[in-house]
Structure 1
């Protein structure tokens, strides 16, 4: 059972990471059905810094703001129709990745660069495990394109590997250096 401890600090931090994810969505390079963005950095950071529940909450807030119509999703889009876009599965993956990363990192006594990097890789696997099948289903069933799963893997994963490795390194550097400072100053109470 998940017990969510919500206080003012948690609300502010969840809102901050929702906003950071939205900002990451504005930096978009369209390369196919799924654009390159900086969004995926922030669910990983949210999980590492805020923990499982509040990290996931930040992504729920982000997704809901997009679904109600604010233009915060990739490329400045939003609205309920976003559910039927090829990239929406990755947003669901963001939510799950933040939760999984937060759950695992909460059991780590001292977060090092290597541990943060491995956790981010796990988070990326979660994002792609949801995003690729969703991409495949939307392309085939809603957009009328008959594509193979190999095509979905190519345009929804393979093209992103170099950038994702760089983003994972950046997140790992930030997390392993910032989390101890945040703990020391009482800003966050998870991880080390």
Structure 2
């Protein structure tokens, strides 16, 4: 697939926005509250599945090369950080959100909101077990899976719902404009 210059710029933009979202954080434990998911979901909604997930993959690659764009730095050793599983989840979430939104000619608030919620679920399906494994087996911090669910999922639900609402509000207004421009 050939990627147009405009698409490269948009992918880079959402890569940067996700990085910026990592620095807007509230530390509350192994996984801080950030704005990363807002930009991950918007990437899927506005860029589609391929380009949206590509922006998130590029974010991970840049961070693993050592540019400190993750919430706690960067570099190849970041794969041993308890939050790295959430970053992997960003790629899949953006892809799934993009697929769901693109199936509708004019996506509704509800469609975009539910796609965003599904994206959140995907991130936690990958992120929480990853965090649990890293904390217990790499960092040797003994923790039950139930405790990992509390600190790596439950505390984030209200914020993720709010972010999903914002994504849906913006998506309903911006997607039709983007599609009109791309015709």
Could you report, residue by residue, the CA deviation over 1:132-165 in whole angstroms, capped at 9, with x for unpaired residues? 1100000011000111110110000001011111
Kindly report structure 1 stretches of 4+ aligned residues shifted beyond 4 Å.
none
Task: Using structure 1 for the length normalisation, give the TM-score.
Answer: 0.92
Cα RMSD, aligned residues only:
1.1
Give the length in aligned residue pairs.
183
- The reply on whether 1:131 has 2:127 as its aligned counterpart is yes
Do residues 108 (structure 1) and 99 (structure 2) align? Answer: no
* Structure 2 residue 85 is the aligned partner of structure 1 residue 89: yes
Look up the match of 1:17.
14
Where does the alignment leave 5 or more consecutive residues of structure 2 unmatched? Answer: none
1:42 to 35, 39, 44: 39
The Cα shift of 1:5 comes to: 4.0
Q: 1:119 pairs with 111, 115, 119, which one?
A: 115
Residue in 2 that maps onto 1:72: 69
SS at match of 2:70: coil
- Greater helix percent: which structure? 2
CA drift at 1:112: 1.3
1:159 aligns with 2:167: no
1:43-101: CA deviation from partner (whole Å, max 9, x where unpaired)? 111111111111110001100111111111114x1111111011000000000001111
1:140 aligns with 136
The answer for the alignment partner of 1:173 in structure 2 is 169
> TM-score, normalised on structure 2?
0.96
User: Corresponding residue for 2:51?
Assistant: 54
Give 5+ residue unaligned stretches, structure 1: none
Q: SS state of the match for residue 36, structure 2?
A: coil
